[in-house]
Amino acid sequence: MSDPILEVRNLHVHFDTYDGTAEVINGVDFTLDEGETAALVGETGCGKSVTVKSVMGLVPEATIPEGEIIYKGQNVLDLSDAERHARRGREMSMIMQDPMTSLNPVLTVGEQMTDVLKWQGQPRMSVTSWVRDKLDRGSDAEYRERAVEMLSDVEISAPERVFESYPAELSGGMRQRVLIAIALLSEPDLLIADEPGTALDVTTEAKVLDLLDELVEERNTSVLYITHDLGVAREVSDRINVMYAGEIVEQAPTADLFADPQHPYTRGLLDSIPSLSTGIGDGIAGHLPDYTDAPEACRFADRCPHAQPECREAYPYPRETGDDHNVACHLFEGRPAHDRHADLAADPVDIGVPPWEASDASSESDAVADGGSHS
């Protein structure tokens, strides 16, 4: 097994609001190995983007009262702003989710790409210095060549023309390819892709995801995909982390999660995936809790069809239910996935077995009985 390039441990992220403190991220843990592609999956508003922006250091308005973000063995929360900025510029990169607004509309694609090549990881400079640099174009030939080459790598058929174009002159799919090219310019060790296909049509999204998969495989880049679509996660990831209301409720290798989805929220997401045989999907009733007054026990209890009174009283710590499979639900037994929950595990909650497992066992028993009656 490869060494982890990123470990997020017991991460808490809070925001001060007029209504009080919003506890948006509540004890998140996940690991990304070198060369691995993992997905962080959940519906809009569940905290996915806040989590990865915290990893990148892009939420200065937030407070992190507890937790660690270990990148290559070092807690980046202990770094100075300058040290973190340098590392983010050269080793860590992020593809923002909206290609329509993530590019500067008053600069050409080429200007934005050459700025990245020139200034990535460098201390922030003044507007005056930036303008003076713009007036001195003599040293840009090497940067231009590199940028045009990268545009070609992301399968833009006219890279020279796109280099000279403004974002408004490009289609959504073309802008997304430009964002991918910018993110890969520094050949990062860690790439975060925040719903890279959200604003695109289905065909273009599929092409962009295939392209991104090819590019990161060639460079052995570690990738963390952010998506609300388990179908996309299944296509692109080796491992899936399912997030609900600022907590990881289930973690497993992709094949295992689809073969044996355990958390009721995961099963609800799977039931929501449209298909030709089942239609547009059932969806999950209800809505996310208020982060300024979030439940102290199970945050999913009010939407869970299997919730019992105990679910609103005892915190459902993540537990190991199989080989590399964790789930945070009282319907399952297993040793705590994290040592900090050992005290909670000492006082187990019994609300029975998962109803779907009980019905499967009943069906098997009926089948055996039917078989016996015909013998």
Q: pLDDT, tens digit, for every residue of 77-121?
A: 999 888 888 888 788 999 887 777 889 999 999 999 998 888 765
Residues of the chain above pLDDT 70, percent: 86
pLDDT surpasses 50 at 138: no
* Alpha-carbon gap, residue 263 to 267, rounded angstroms: 6
What is residue 139's predicted lDDT score, i.e. its pLDDT?
58
Domain boundary among 163, 185, 207: 185
pTM: 0.88
Examine residue 350 and state whether it is found in any structural domain, yes or no. yes
pLDDT surpasses 90 at 311: yes
Together in a domain, 178 and 222: no
Please give the C-alpha separations between residue 300 and each of 104, 112, 363, in angstroms, as whole numbers: 39, 43, 28
Together in a domain, 136 and 42: no
Q: Which residue has the tokens 């994290």?
A: 338
Domain boundary among 185, 208, 242: 185
CA 319 to chain centre: 21
pLDDT surpasses 60 at 319: yes
Q: What is the DSSP letter of 69?
A: E
* Alpha-carbon gap, residue 231 to 223, rounded angstroms: 17
Q: What is the CATH number of the domain that holds 211?
A: 3.40.50.300
Examine residue 99 and state whether it is found in any structural domain, yes or no. no
Residues whose CB is less than 8 angstroms from the CB of residue 24 and which lie 6 or more positions away in sequence, other chains included: 13, 14, 15, 47, 50, 62, 246, 291
Domain count, the chain: 2
Provide the domain limits for residue 284: 1-91+187-375
**37: nearest Cα among 275, 216, 280, 164:** 216
Together in a domain, 193 and 72: yes
Class of residue 221 by CB neighbours under 10 A (exposed 0-12, middle 13-18, buried 19+): buried
Overall average pLDDT of the 203-222 stretch: 81
Domain boundary among 185, 200, 233: 185
Residues of the chain above pLDDT 90, percent: 57
* Alpha-carbon gap, residue 228 to 224, rounded angstroms: 13
Overall average pLDDT of the 118-135 stretch: 58
Together in a domain, 114 and 40: no
Examine residue 98 and state whether it is found in any structural domain, yes or no. no
* Alpha-carbon gap, residue 94 to 87, rounded angstroms: 13
Task: Express each pLDDT in 41-76 by its tens digit.
Answer: 999 999 999 999 999 999 989 999 999 999 999 999
Together in a domain, 112 and 80: no
Together in a domain, 237 and 354: yes
List 28's β-bridge partners, or say none.
Answer: 11
Together in a domain, 109 and 222: no
Together in a domain, 6 and 78: yes
Structure tokens at 50: 């806040």
Structure tokens at 144: 């231009």
Task: Express each pLDDT in 332-341 by its tens digit.
Answer: 999 999 999 9
Examine residue 233 and state whether it is found in any structural domain, yes or no. yes
Together in a domain, 373 and 261: yes
Class of residue 34 by CB neighbours under 10 A (exposed 0-12, middle 13-18, buried 19+): middle
Together in a domain, 220 and 318: yes
* Alpha-carbon gap, residue 263 to 88, rounded angstroms: 34
Together in a domain, 23 and 167: no
pLDDT surpasses 80 at 370: no
Together in a domain, 341 and 366: yes
What is residue 349's predicted lDDT score, i.e. its pLDDT?
92
Contact 317, 330 (CB under 8 A): no
Examine residue 353 and state whether it is found in any structural domain, yes or no. yes
List 23's β-bridge partners, or say none.
Answer: 14
Residues whose CB is less than 8 angstroms from the CB of residue 197 and which lie 6 or more positions away in sequence, other chains included: 176, 204, 205, 206, 208, 209, 232
What is the pLDDT confidence band of residue 155, given thresholds at 50, 70 and 90? confident
Examine residue 180 and state whether it is found in any structural domain, yes or no. yes
